[in-house]
Amino acid sequence: MTTQKIDEKRLQLATEAALKLEKVILQVIIGQDKVVRQITAAFLAGGHVLIEGVPGLGKTLLVRAVAAAIGGKFGRIQFTPDLMPADISGHSMFDAGNSQFVVRKGPVFCNLLLADEINRAPAKTQAALLEAMQEQQVTIDGKSYILDRPFLVMATQNPIEQEGTYPLPQAQTDRFIFKIHISYPDAKAEEEIVNQVTTNSLGDSLDINSIKQLLTPEKMELLQKMTASLTVDEQLINYVVRLVGETRKWNGIELGAGPRGSINLLRAARAIALLSGRSYVIPDDVKEIAIPVLRHRITLSTDLYIEGYTPDQVLEELIESVHAPRS
């Protein structure tokens, strides 16, 4: 059990900063309150995010809005079938003027990296990003380079267009703390989007110039450290482990979540607690965030797929079946 004393004033300031970040992103990502809450939680937990949704729902806009709000260096990689590992990490080149090799660092050297349509690149290229995500470093010509902190990857993929795509390896999807689904906005939210985009503006996307920088990378790292220090009772750790363990024996789940699922679920629950202004985690925090943490870590049996079940439906039933400790 975490026993570190939490300073209530610092906690209040941290919660206010996190809620301001959430609010400012909602200015341009209209009608996606749950998605923005999960993105904010991922940043507090210091985890990478995989965003899935059909074209035109604002996935790229969401990442750009977050980058504008937190400051720091923003990088973007458009994944294509001919993308090479060196296009991500960088490469060494010969400088004729100095008669020596110099390192040209790639777009991965940033604080927030947008990996757009990540499933369009082959496995070898995806592996270059995997090292950066897991080890917080990249290797160029045998030499390792440490990435600046915080370093967060927000990757997007289109779930319906499969031609010319490469399925993400399980080892890579497991590195994402969340897999977030962006769905169509409701009619009222869409009316607001159409009104904002077509009034006194050019193009067909919302303007992020109105977003003011709220944080710096240094302040973001302090928020992450505050989140990691929140109190977690031993009973709640037991609950998280039991819940994730149930995915390994649940009828209809062919492959369950591993220990990284338990670790990330607890990290995410701490982030939800901080957003709620609490210095401790309760079972409802775990329940709120469990599906985006686990949906990409399980594989359903063929029979369930044929019957039309989704991972979310199975997880909802599983979560309800696991007894939670009293708050």
Please give the Cα distance from 115 to 104 (Å, whole number): 19
pTM of the model: 0.87
Q: From the centroid of its chain, how far is CA 37? A: 11
CATH 1.10.8.80, applies to 230-327: yes
Residues of the chain with CATH 1.10.8.80: 230-327
Question: Taking all residues of the chain, what is their mean pLDDT, rounded to a whole number?
Answer: 86
- DSSP 3-state helix, strand, coil percentages of the chain (rounded to 5)? 45, 15, 40
Could you say which architecture CATH assigns to the domain 7-215? 3-Layer(aba) Sandwich (3.40)
30-65 pLDDT, tens digit per residue, is 788 899 999 999 999 999 999 988 776 677 777 788
129-142 pLDDT, tens digit per residue, is 887 888 888 888 88
Report the Cα–Cα distance between both ends of the chain, in Å, rounded: 15
Residues of the chain with CATH 3.40.50.300: 7-215
Percent of all residues in the chain with a pLDDT value above 90, rounded to a whole number: 38
Please give the Cα distance from 276 to 63 (Å, whole number): 23
Q: Which helix (H) or strand (E) holds 93?
A: strand 90-95
